[in-house]
Chains A and B, each alone.
Chain A
Amino acid sequence: MEALAHSLFTVELFNKLFSKPAAALLKLFGIPVADPNHLFPDYLAVCILVSILIVLLFGLTSRRFKTIPSRYQSFLETIINIFEGQVVDIIGEEGKKYVPMIATIGLFVLFNNLIGLVPGFMSPTSNLNVTLGCALTVFVYYHWQGIKTQGLLKYLKHFMGPIPLLAPLLIPIEIISHFSRPISLSIRLFGNIFAEELLILTMISILPYFLPLPFMAIAIFTALIQAFVFVLLSCIYISGAVAHEEEHE
Chain B
Amino acid sequence: MPLKLFPGEGFRKVAELSSLALMLPSSIAVGLFFGYFLDKWLGTHPWLLLIFLLLGIASGLMSLLRGLSKYGGPDSIEQPEGTETDVPENRPAD
Chain A interface (Cβ within 8 Å of chain B)? 78, 81-82, 84-86, 88-89, 172-174, 176-177, 179-181, 183-184, 187-188, 224-225, 228-229, 232-233, 236
Contacts and interface: CB of A to CB of B under 8 A. Distances in A.
B15 A82 contact: no
A183 B25 CA distance: 10
A173 B30 CA distance: 11
A57 B1 CA distance: 22
Contacts of A177: 27, 59-60, 62-63
A81 B3 contact: yes
Chain B interface main SS type: helix
B41 to A, nearest CB: 16
Contacts of A179: 30, 34
Nearest to A187: B22
Interface string B1-34: 1111110000010011011001101110111001
Contact of B29 (A89, A180, A228, A232): A180
Given A184-B19, A228-B15, A229-B19, A176 B3 contact: no
In the complex, which range does the number of interface residues on chain B fall in? 20 to 34
Nearest to A173: B59
Nearest to A99: B2
